[in-house]
Every structure is written in structure tokens, then in C-alpha cells.
Amino acid sequence: MVSSPPSGTVQPNSVVFTVNGWEAAFKTNAFTRARPLECRLCDFTEKKNVTYVPLDSHDAVLRFNSAPTRGYEKDVGNKTTMRIINSQILANPSHHFIDSSLYKDVILVAWDPAPYSANLNLWYQKPDYNLFTPYIQHRRRHPAQPFYILHPKFIWQLWDIIQENTREKIQPNPPSSGFIGILIMMSMCREVHVYEYIPSVRQTELCHYHELYYDAACTLGAYHPLLYEKLLVQRLNVGTQADLHRKGKVVLPGFRALRCPDTSPNNTYS
């Protein structure tokens, strides 16, 4: 069982919540669901004609933002264990965050793109989108539902990892929800399956399977360092090249199973 929130979350005793007396909203916010043993991370943002994969048979399924399952069950399944949402989902009334069934009965993890060097005080005073008010409203309505906000420092630690593994200097823009989700699931699962994060031969310029909106930037990136994220994920892939090519399927070991090569001088096999 998991007895603590995902690493990198804002804690209930942080200044963001204590300054407003919001600590009471966290009393029952225990992350008590069983640790999944095998997870598949499904993100069909690159495709129009999705192909069914048996997501519902796995221990945990992660979805992003406002991506629905109703009407798309044949292709994306119905099960949702965790949903990662950016601050626009909470702040924009068009997403109906407080009332929509998309955000009920699942683990929620929210994030907001704070500046690289911003501390919690500065971030709370001027978030990119005001996620705090709807967050507290939701917590008070559903006190038993696990709901976390990622610490800005955690987001930028992921950016640092991308930059450290990239020769080019990349713009200091935060990683995508997809990359954030991959890293979270790798910390929780023994194995993570990712679909169409790296596009297959079925690639189109359609941004999301549930929206008729076309933009190549959804695949290659404009704001987020998507291209560099995907190159890093491809390097970590332990799945087959055939699956990557035909299905856009990446298989990633969880951090508990990940083994880095020995680069010490005494290692004669490196």
C-alpha cells in the first residue's frame, strides 16, 4: 500500500495552504490505494484512428486532462486510475472541473507551470492559472478523494533531467503533462506501457483523439520540450522496435527495475 503522496507534491503544511487556514481540507487526503504492479500509460494525443489496446485489464491506467472514455471505449478502454490535469482544467469554466464525472472517483494530480526559480510564495501569489481556489472547493466536496498538486520544483527537476540528456540548449519551458505522467508512473509501477507518445506509422497532425483540432506542434512541441522528451523516452524503451513502429508502443521499466550501466573505470564491460 502507498502511505504517502506521490513524490514532488505540495504538502498540507506548506505556506500555500497554511496561510489561508486550508489545512483542514487535507485531513482525509490519504494516498491509500494499492501500489500498481504493472501499469500502462495511455496517451493518444498524436492519433486520429486509434487501435484498441487492453488497458482495462491492467492494474493502473493514467489519463490526461479532459480526455474522455465515453464514446471511445472500443479504442481507449474505460478504466481510469489516475488523471493528471494542468491548471487550465481547474481554472477554465468550460471544463466543468467541479461538476464533471471525469474528475470523480480517480486519483487527481494537478500542476501549474511556475517560473524556473519561483518559490512557493511567489507561485501562490501569481500562478499561471489560479488552480488553488477550485482545488480547495473540490477537496471540501470530496475530502476522501486523493488529490495532489505537484511542487514546481519537481516539474523543473524533470526539465533538468531532459536538459542533462540533451546536447542542445533547450528553452526553460516546463515538460508536458505526458512526460510528467510517465515519470510519476515509473516511480509507482514495475513496468509502464506508453502508447503513441512517440508516434507510430499511423501518425497524423490531429492533436487529441477526442477533438477535431490539427497542429503539428502537438507532436513536435512548441511550448513544451516535446521533441527532447520523446528522444529521452525512446532511449529508455525496452520494448521492440516493431511495436514502436506499428503501435507507437514504448515499454519502460519502473525505477525499481531500472538499471543504469556501470561507468566506473573498473568496469571492463562498459
- Cell readout for 204 is 497524423
CATH class of 15-253: alpha beta
- What gap in Å lies between CA 119 and CA 97, rounded to an integer? 27
More confident residue, 37 or 140: 140
Whether the pLDDT of residue 43 is over 50: the answer is no
Tally helices (H) and strands (E) across the chain.
10, 9
C-beta pairs of 66-69 under 8 Å, 24+ apart in sequence: 66/95, 66/100, 66/102, 67/208, 67/209, 67/210, 68/102, 68/210
pLDDT above 90: percentage of residues in the chain: 38
- What gap in Å lies between CA 188 and CA 49, rounded to an integer? 30
Give me the residue spans of the domains in the chain: 15-253
**Per-residue pLDDT tens over the stretch 6-24:** 557 777 666 666 666 666 6
For residue 204, give the amino acid letter: T
CA dihedral sign of residues 111, 21, 32, 254: positive
With residues binned 3-state (H G I as helix, E B as strand, rest as coil), the percentages for the chain, rounded to 5, are 35, 15, 50
What is the pTM assigned to this prediction?
Answer: 0.81
Classified as helix, coil or strand, 56 is helix
**Per-residue pLDDT tens over the stretch 55-86:** 666 788 899 999 888 888 887 888 889 999 99
- What gap in Å lies between CA 26 and CA 28, rounded to an integer? 6
| Total residue count of the chain as it appears in this document | 270
Average pLDDT taken over every residue of the chain: 79
Whether the pLDDT of residue 130 is over 90: the answer is yes
